[in-house]
């Protein structure tokens, strides 16, 4: 199934990093989400992507990221994916999924002198769909995207739709970290750890993080109806 941002990234322009953002967001919008991976090398590709991401994190924040990872693979259909998501929602360890990466991003932004509140931002009602920020009167500059949503949520039954929405929000947070990383320093995307992490999704694997050392990579064995 397809998911996107409500606009065509390749047609948008941003004040900085346009080429990077077009490539990053286009690659995410092109993914056939929650479908079985293709090709025998997909598992190795996904594992390498997460290990690379973790290694970059460990290099910057050794107290937040583990020097070694215990990676396990789980196969299944919607029932197993829903079950794994329910487990992740109950276990506080899953908070690592955005807690450590958030601090990783913040450290990088501070090192480059980047601050969200310094960003030029339209008032919320004047923002364009592709704008990353919006300003509320008498308040701060806020992120307003890019958030990843199913293109056709009405075609997905419950409880899958609710679970997918939840999981896509975590991916959206990864995307915001990736965008902030690039805004702070528009270096080649290969140096962006979150862009590296996206290779998990591109390979058809969905990470579940239950502690800094225990990573489960889920793959669908049956396509979503």
Helices (H), 62-122: 78-90, 96-111
The phi and psi torsions of 219 (rounded to 5 degrees) equal: -135, 145
Q: Are strands 214-220 and 70-76 parallel, antiparallel or unpaired?
A: parallel
Shortest distance in whole angstroms from residue 131 CB to other proteins? 10
Q: Is 45 in the site for other proteins (CB under 8 A)?
A: no
Q: Is 61 in the site for other proteins (CB under 8 A)?
A: no
Min separation Cβ 176 and other proteins, Å: 8
Binding flag, residue 139, other proteins (CB under 8 A): yes
State the nearest-atom distance from the C-beta of 40 to other proteins, in Å. Answer: 34
The Cα 47–Cα 57 span in angstroms is: 15
Is 6 an interacting residue with respect to other proteins (CB under 8 A)?
yes
Q: Does 136 bind other proteins (CB under 8 A)?
A: yes
47 contributes a contact to other proteins by CB under 8 A: no
Contact 210, 94 (CB under 8 A): yes
Candidate ranges 9-17, 168-176, 190-198, 205-213; the one touching other proteins (CB under 8 A): 168-176
Q: How many Å from the N-terminal Cα to the C-terminal Cα in the chain?
A: 9
- Residue (106 or 202) nearer to other proteins, CB: 106
Size of the site for other proteins (CB under 8 A): 29
Coil, strand or helix: which one is 71? strand
Q: Cα–Cα distances in Å, from 139 out to 91, 114, 131, 158, 210?
A: 34, 19, 18, 37, 36
Closest CB to other proteins among 11 and 139? Answer: 139
Q: Work out whether 99 is an interface residue with other proteins (CB under 8 A).
A: yes
Should residue 173 be labelled a site residue for other proteins when binding is judged by CB under 8 A? yes
């Amino acid at each position: 199934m397809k998911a996107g941002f409500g606009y065509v990234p390749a047609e948008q322009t941003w004040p900085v990093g346009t080429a990077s953002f077009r490539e990053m967001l286009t690659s995410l919008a092109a993914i056939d989400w929650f479908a079985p991976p293709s090709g025998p090398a997909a598992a190795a590709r996904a594992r390498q992507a997460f290990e690379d991401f973790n290694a970059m994190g460990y290099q910057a924040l050794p107290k937040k990221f583990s020097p070694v990872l215990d990676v396990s693979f789980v196969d299944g259909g919607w029932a197993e994916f829903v079950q794994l998501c329910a487990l992740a929602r109950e276990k506080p360890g899953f908070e690592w999924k955005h807690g450590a990466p958030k601090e990783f991003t913040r450290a990088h932004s501070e090192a480059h002198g980047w601050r969200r509140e310094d960003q030029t931002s339209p008032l919320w009602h004047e923002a364009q769909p592709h704008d990353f920020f919006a300003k509320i009167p008498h308040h701060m500059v806020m992120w307003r995207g890019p958030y990843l949503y199913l293109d056709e949520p009405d075609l997905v039954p419950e409880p899958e739709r609710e679970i997918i929405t939840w999981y896509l929000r975590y991916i959206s947070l990864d995307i915001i970290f990736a965008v902030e990383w690039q805004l702070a320093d528009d270096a080649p995307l290969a140096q962006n750890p979150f862009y590296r992490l996206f290779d998990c999704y591109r390979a058809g694997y969905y990470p579940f993080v239950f502690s800094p050392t225990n990573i489960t990579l889920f793959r669908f064995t049956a396509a979503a109806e």
